[in-house]
A and B are shown apart, each in its own frame.
Chain A
């Protein structure tokens, strides 16, 4: 660019003055916009007090929550009872009764060994003292009547916190040693018990052995075929609640499907009344259009809350909310499409003396039908997403389930599972609706 001579440059500047001297807005518009946006964001930083909120955030918790998405924590309490160490499991049954656990071995004298990943990182737990091994070096923790005390010079992984001692093994887990119990958290990659819960007769089977079991082998339960049993046990998994989650997902899909379809069926005839070119009565046009505006401008959230009070939580309030808002939105879009139709075809039908119904049926509908269907498909697609969100404010479906799982603050693996399900379903429906649309109106039209 720098190879142009000075005289040539002057000549060009004289010839195209408006290119070289654009007005202020053209020249600096992008920068001015950027500056204004930055200024506004700075204002909002203080308005929402983002700084203090970020500082007060419990970020260590965030790390744990995110790890919970793809990994699983076993968290027994090892209680000191009558000279022996007794494990006590949390309510979400993590191991079957009497199962041998490879990282938690009891010994004959009542003590217990908990390993974290490898032999060098382990806890030797006795009721009188706990030996903590970090990278193969032993650090004895003294247990007194009212406290657990870490030795002097302990590494940063071992930390004295009031009357208890915290041991951190990174991802593998952590332990909290108190004077009467040791709370162990042992973390493993993957979702434990995803197929069967510990109370199930099939517990311990992985996917491959389940498939093998379905096609061969003796019946585990003499009353049922193996394939039947596998399905029942998987759906009835008490820890993961597959049956419930899938039913809630189905409700969400039904909400979007029925809501959009009903809205289409109702908006279709009403749009003919709202369209000026079809119905000559101005009052009717105006009334219809204002009703569409009314239905549309009340938010889906408000409709959902209203109908939830009427029908109780479940898919019906969701359907009704989507139906009401979408009748307004689709009605408006349809009416606009009707006002843009080519009048020649209507005139043609009118000229052979057809009734008004026939004029609309053969002169208008064939023109607008592809547009109508493709708009409805767009709304269907986007409603599959919105149905998850309005579910969370009380209208049933997987949104409510998501909110419940997040509320417990320990079921983040279940949240991840549901998110994956939702993502899968949304992609599936995107592609389905794209495929139908391109069949109907040809790939060029969108």
Chain B
């Protein structure tokens, strides 16, 4: 790009300008190259460190990478379906691997819910309950964190810091503490995910509140409405569609989170999944993976459709800490 214009035939002032432009382009390029080199060096060093810290070295293990999948084949493809719907297996030999029927959850004498589907319902319910609890508390808190509603005060500072800590606090610690007290079960997962949700949604919520149009609030203020009335009738109706959209997005994320927390002791499908993969039960594992995939895709699609209805395209712009 630097040789677009020939320097001859330019006035002295223009030549100075051009020289200046070129030197700036050069500086910028040098900085960019230094930046890229620094990042690459850091990447190389980090990969080297990771390789040294790992229990199996990367290049040694590459040929064996798919061994796990190779050894991890169910007896026949229908075994996956049987595991999924708790149908008796012809391979049943009394071992845990094929005991699909023992975990059925009976609704009536003969009607039952297959175990994995029941666990999936538990996991999805954990996610929804945590979103409702966390979202509800975030809804209350967010109005105290917004500059336009409480001004620049210590209250706002405290609320924001509390939200930050809740966001960054490792979920598995809360789950672990409650599991030690209440024994394994969904309550630990609900508490852990709700805690995180308050922090994550609280931040998104108060940013929406800060961007709200203050004219309705002013109108209410002019007729002497109290702070509560101004928030209820001036702010809440404006921000509600965005709030609901963010809460739906959070539900999606929480379904994944409740699966992970389940795997470290919070019950639900995560627990069953960890056990089946740990015991090398191929058919069960594949059944769970397929069920998880279907659920996550369904919830993504449904909540995407609902969000599109509520706030339109803008809710699909990722970022702003939504993840």
A contact residues vs B (CB 8 Å cutoff): 1, 26, 30, 37, 40-41, 44, 47-48, 50, 53-54, 56-59, 61-62, 65-66, 247, 250-251, 254-255, 257-258, 261-262, 297-302, 305-306, 309-317, 319, 329, 333, 336, 374-375, 378-379, 381-382, 385, 388-390, 392-393, 396, 399, 402-403, 406, 409, 412, 415, 419, 422-423, 426-427, 430, 446
Find out whether the CB atom of B54 lies under 8 angstroms from the CB atom of A315: yes
Q: Given contacts A378-B320, A389-B257, list 15 more A-B pairs with CB under 8 A.
A: A40-B128, A41-B132, A41-B133, A53-B187, A247-B53, A250-B49, A257-B42, A299-B292, A299-B296, A301-B260, A305-B277, A310-B68, A312-B56, A315-B50, A375-B319
Other-chain residue from B122, B270, B293 in contact with A301 (beta carbon distance below 8 A): B270
Residues of A within 8 A of B321 (CB): 378, 381-382
Residues of A within 8 A of B270 (CB): 301
Interface of B with A (CB < 8 Å)? 39, 42-43, 46-47, 49-51, 53-56, 58, 61, 64-69, 122, 125, 128-129, 132-133, 136, 164-165, 167-173, 176-177, 180-183, 185-187, 190, 223-225, 236-237, 240, 256-257, 259-260, 263-264, 270, 274, 277, 289, 292-293, 296-297, 300, 316, 318-321, 323
B4 to chain A minimum Cβ distance, whole angstroms, is 10
Q: How far is the CB of A425 from chain B (nearest CB, A)?
A: 9
How far does the alpha carbon of A16 sit from the alpha carbon of B107 in the complex, in Å?
A: 54
Contact B263 A393, beta carbon cutoff 8 Å: yes
Contact yes or no, A41 B129, CB < 8 A: yes
In the complex, the answer to whether A310 meets B320 with C-beta atoms within 8 Å is no
- Name the A residues within 8 Å of B47 (CB-CB): 258, 319
Q: Are B319 and A406 in contact (CB under 8 A)?
A: no
- Quote the shortest CB–CB distance from B45 to chain A (angstroms): 9
A-B contact pairs, 22 of them (CB 8 A): A40-B129, A48-B125, A50-B187, A65-B180, A255-B50, A257-B43, A257-B46, A297-B293, A298-B289, A298-B293, A299-B259, A300-B260, A311-B58, A312-B61, A333-B318, A375-B319, A388-B172, A390-B260, A399-B172, A412-B177, A419-B173, A423-B165
Selected from A56, A310, A329, A415, the residue in CB contact (under 8 A) with B173 is A415
Contact A426 B168 (CB under 8 A): yes
A442: shortest Cβ distance to chain B, in Å? Answer: 15
- B51 & A316 in contact (Cβ 8 Å cutoff): yes
Query: Which residues of chain B come closer than 8 Å to A59, judged between CB atoms?
Result: 181
- In the assembled complex, how far is the CB of residue A380 from the closest CB belonging to chain B, in whole angstroms? 11
Identify which of A53, A54, A392, A423 contacts B264 (C-beta below 8 A).
Answer: A392
Residue of A nearest to B51 (CB): A316
Which of B43, B54, B177, B296 interacts with A261 by CB under 8 Å?
B43
Given A333-B318, A423-B168; A301-B176 close (CB under 8 Å): no
- With both beta carbons as reference points, the residue of chain A lying nearest to B267 in the complex is identified as A48
Interface residues of B: mostly helix, strand, loop or mixed? Answer: helix
Q: A57–B180 Cα gap in the complex (Å)?
A: 9
Chain A nearest Cβ from B9, distance in angstroms:
21
A406 to B183, CA, bound (A): 13
Q: Which residues of A contact B318 (CB under 8 A)?
A: 329, 333, 375, 378
Contact partner, A44, options B58, B129, B289, Cβ 8 Å: B129
CB–CB B187/A251 < 8 A: no
Give Cα A65–Cα B177 distance, bound, in whole angstroms: 8
CB–CB A251/B50 < 8 A: yes
Measured CB to CB, the closest approach of chain B to A275, in angstroms, equals 16
Selected from A62, A251, A300, A388, the residue in CB contact (under 8 A) with B177 is A62
Min C-beta distance of A294 to chain B, whole Å: 9
Who on chain B is nearest to A38 by CB?
B132
**Nearest 8 A-B pairs (CB), nearest first?**
A314-B54, A312-B56, A312-B55, A406-B176, A315-B50, A309-B68, A426-B168, A310-B65
Query: For residue B176, which residue of chain A has the nearest CB?
Result: A406
Q: Are B292 and A316 in contact (CB under 8 A)?
A: no
Interfacial chain A residues near B49, Cβ < 8 Å? 250-251, 254, 315
- The distance in angstroms between the C-alpha atoms of A115 and B56, with both chains bound, is 52
Tell whether, in the assembled complex, residue B297 and residue A403 are in contact, meaning their CB atoms are under 8 Å apart. no
Contacting residues, chain A, for B64 (C-beta < 8 A)? 310
Docked Cα-Cα span, A226 to B289, in Å, equals: 56
Q: Is the CB of A311 within 8 A of B50?
A: no
Residue of B nearest to A409 (CB): B180
**Shortest beta-carbon distance from A197 to chain B in Å:** 24
Cα–Cα, bound, A316→B133 (Å): 36
Bound CA–CA A44/B127 (angstroms): 12
Inter-chain contacts of A423 with B (CB < 8 A) = 165, 168-169
Q: Is the CB of A306 within 8 A of B68?
A: yes
Q: Within the assembled complex, what's the spacing in Å between the Cα atoms of A312 and B58? A: 10
Residues of chain A within 8 A of B274, CB atoms compared: 305, 393
Partner of B176 from A261, A297, A388, A403 at Cβ < 8 Å:
A403
Q: Are A48 and B181 in contact (CB under 8 A)?
A: no
Contact B172 A312 (CB under 8 A): no
Contact partner of B181 among A44, A57, A262, CB < 8 A? A57
Nearest chain A residue, comparing its CB with the CB of B180: A409
Of the candidates B56, B68, B190, B289, which one forms a contact with A314 in the assembled complex, judged by CB atoms under 8 Å apart? B56
* Centre residue among A26, A261, A329 by max chain B CB count within 10 A: A261
**Given A62-B181, A316-B58, A378 and B319 contact (CB-CB distance below 8 Å):** yes
Residues of the B chain whose Cβ atoms lie less than 8 Å from the Cβ of A250: 49
CB distance from A257 to the nearest CB of B (A): 6
Contact of A315 among B53, B187, B277, B297 (CB under 8 A): B53
Check B132 against A37 for contact (C-beta < 8 Å): yes
Residue of A nearest to B54 (CB): A314
Q: Which residues of the partner chain B approach A300 to less than 8 Å between Cβ atoms?
A: 256, 260
| A410 to B262 CA separation, bound complex (whole angstroms) | 23
Contact assessment for A379 and B323 in the assembled complex, using a CB-CB cutoff below 8 Å: yes
* Distance A20 CA – B264 CA, assembled complex (angstroms): 53
Most-contacted residue by chain A among B53, B122, B185, B223 (CB, 10 A): B53
| B58 touching A403, Cβ below 8 Å | no
Which residues on A sit within 8 Å (CB–CB) of B51?
Answer: 316
B260:A402 contact, CB within 8 angstroms? no
Known interface pairs A393-B260, A427-B164. Does A313 touch B55 (Cβ–Cβ under 8 Å)?
yes
In the complex with contacts A62-B181, A310-B64, A311-B56, A44-B125 CB distance below 8 A: yes
How near does chain A come to B282, taking the closest CB pair, in angstroms? Answer: 12
Q: Chain B residues with Cβ under 8 A from A57's Cβ? A: 181-182
* CA gap between A44 and B186 in the complex, in Å: 11
Inter-subunit contact B172/A392 (CB<8 Å): yes
